[in-house]
Amino acid sequence: MKLQTVKDVDLQGKRVLIRVDFNVPLKDGEVTDDTRIESALPTVRYILDQKGTSLVVMSHFGRPKGKKDPAFSMAPVAKRFEELLGRKVKVASDVIGDAVKKEVADLKAGEVLLLENVRFYKEEEANDAGFSKELASYGDIYVNDAFGTAHRAHASTEGVAHFLPAVAGFLIEKEVKFFAPLLENPDKPFVAIIGGSKVSSKISVLESLARTCDAIVIAGGMAYTFLKVQGHAIGKSLLEAEYLDVAKSFLAKAQEKGVRVILPVDHVCAAEFNEQAQVVSVDSVDIPEGLIGMDVGPKTLALVDKELKGAKSIVWNGPMGVFEFDAFAAGTKAVAKMVAECTGTTVVGGGDSVAAVNKFGFADRIDHVSTGGGASLEFLEGRELPGIKALEK
Ligand code: ADP
Ligand code: MG
């Protein structure tokens, strides 16, 4: 996959329309985590460094459900963006309409205008052509750097690309650079660690990765459905009975392809699913009646470590256990550390997995920590992301 980026086009003197993902967490009017703003800055700075450029920035924020709602205004986000960028950011009065047209037309070289929340209009998520065209009228060229929403075909992420020359920003370029080889030609051995809650939400990822990987670790809540298929006792652990056949045929296909599947061989359990539950270590694959598998045990972690030792490519999606509860976070923390210490190329994607590597402080030792939860999952499933596909024309 070769994407055109901001570096492949002449931006001099242009008004650039950029889509970013500034859907940041907010508390009492303050941005509590500015990772998403930070990750758009290299592209924003590059564009503003080109001679005579001005910038119109668009993003969604929260779910205002297609209506103008001051609670979802971009103003607090603009404030943080301005501080991080170190130059004035104007906030537009709206998303579309004559007033905004004038605000855009009045932009001088070097100036930045952040449009109001694109989701103030239902036309955004409906990918309405008229709305897309109006957004497109704000720029000479469109840059998409919103990886977090690239799996959605909305007006500001996809529609607008049909009306303007369209290129990727550095964030999308980086995400694609790390994810695409995993599905095409990964450096081998390639080990995938897939955890999380459900077989139903991860089976497509497993099937997609089984085409290129040498080994797959299956852990988290979904592992028990697989263990059940193998005839093991799983106590009161999470079971998706309607996915037993799917899990069974996945295991058969993996074996046919020569992909090693590593399932938990020991567990950290509890009798109740809650934070204060008494921790019970179970030193066998089988889980005694009445217990819930909440995390993987030390023998399982040793197996994962062994797989990771010589690996050249590693992808991790989905926590090993219920890491939100301190008593059951050890497996996820240990894997985060192992991945961080890997010499191969390491990629982590998925909302909760990324939260875990951040929480445990390993993010800066991992080659790529994806900024898109849903988008990274769909990428790993081998699906085309509309926001990226629209840049490939
Ligand atoms: P990601 O967002 O990284 O793709 P998922 O959303 O698939 O990950 O899964 C994360 C959730 O899986 C977490 O909330 C975690 O508590 C849950 N989980 C992990 N292990 C278990 C388990 N053994 N039983 C129940 N839930 C689990
Ligand atoms: Mg999740």
CATH fold for domain 186-380: Rossmann fold (3.40.50)
Residue 138 token pair: 């704000």
3-state helix, strand, coil in the chain (%, to 5): 40, 15, 40
Residue 41: per-residue pLDDT? 98
The mean per-residue pLDDT over the stretch 133-146 comes to: 98
Residue 320 C-alpha to ligand 2 middle, in angstroms?
A: 12
pLDDT at 244 exceeding the cut of 70: yes
Residue 270: per-residue pLDDT? 98
Mutate to test the pocket of ligand 1, among 151, 197, 287, 360 (most ligand atoms within 8 A of CB): 197
Contact criterion met (CB below 8 Å) for 342 and 314: yes
Ligand 1: atom nearest CA of 223 is 23
Backbone conformation region of residue 30, classed left if phi is above 0, alpha if psi is from -120 to 50, else beta: beta
The mean per-residue pLDDT over the stretch 323-337 comes to: 97
Residues near 176 by beta carbon (within 8 Å), at least 6 away in sequence = 1, 3, 168, 388
Cα–Cα distance list, 391 to 17, 129, 168 (Å): 14, 17, 7
Give the pLDDT band (50/70/90) at residue 2.
confident
Residue 350 C-alpha to ligand 2 middle, in angstroms?
A: 6
d(CA 195, CA 222): 7
Going by C-alpha positions, the residue among 387, 379, 381 that lies closest to residue 177 is 379
Going by C-alpha positions, the residue among 355, 347, 369, 350 that lies closest to residue 25 is 355
pLDDT at 110 exceeding the cut of 80: yes
Convert the pLDDT of each residue in 191-230 to its tens digit: 999 999 899 999 999 999 999 999 999 999 999 999 999 9
Cα–Cα distance list, 344 to 5, 191, 214, 312, 365 (Å): 27, 10, 14, 4, 12
Rg (CA), the chain: 23
**What SS3 class is residue 248?**
helix
d(CA 145, CA 165): 14
Residue 287 token pair: 């889980």
Residue 383: per-residue pLDDT? 96
**Check whether domain 6-172 has CATH 3.40.50.2300, yes or no:** no
Residue 351 C-alpha to ligand 2 middle, in angstroms?
A: 5
Going by C-alpha positions, the residue among 72, 115, 70 that lies closest to residue 90 is 115
Mean pLDDT, the chain, integer: 97
Strand 280-282 and strand 267-270: the pairing is: antiparallel
Give the percent of the chain with pLDDT over 90: 97
Continuous H helices in the chain: 35-49, 75-85, 98-105, 122-125, 129-136, 170-184, 199-209, 223-229, 244-257, 298-309, 330-341, 351-359, 373-380, 386-389
Ligand closest to the CA atom of residue 354 = 1
Query: DSSP string of 300-330?
Result: HHHHHHHHHHT-SEEEEES-SS-TTSGGG-H
> Domain coordinates of the chain in residue numbers?
6-172, 186-380
Give the pLDDT band (50/70/90) at residue 13.
very high
Backbone conformation region of residue 127, classed left if phi is above 0, alpha if psi is from -120 to 50, else beta: left
pLDDT at 393 exceeding the cut of 90: no
Contact criterion met (CB below 8 Å) for 19 and 59: yes
Strand 292-296 and strand 267-270: the pairing is: antiparallel
The mean per-residue pLDDT over the stretch 311-319 comes to: 98
Query: DSSP string of 322-352?
Result: -TTSGGG-HHHHHHHHHHHH-SSEEEE-SHH
Query: DSSP string of 53-92?
Result: -EEEEE---S--TTS--GGG-SHHHHHHHHHHHTS-EEE-
Q: Which residues are catalytic?
A: 36, 198, 351, 374
Convert the pLDDT of each residue in 44-54 to its tens digit: 999 999 999 99
Residue 141 C-alpha to ligand 2 middle, in angstroms?
A: 34
Cα–Cα distance list, 239 to 5, 206, 347 (Å): 45, 17, 28
- Give, using CA atoms, the residue closest to atom 7 of ligand 1: 196
Residue 1: per-residue pLDDT? 57
Mutate to test the pocket of ligand 1, among 322, 325, 326, 381 (most ligand atoms within 8 A of CB): 322
d(CA 39, CA 352): 19
Pocket of ligand 1, beta carbon within 6 A? 196-197, 201, 220-221, 238, 293-294, 317-319, 321-322, 324, 350-353, 373, 377
Going by C-alpha positions, the residue among 238, 175, 216 that lies closest to residue 378 is 175
d(CA 376, CA 191): 17
The domains spanning 6-172 and 186-380 adopt the same CATH topology:
yes
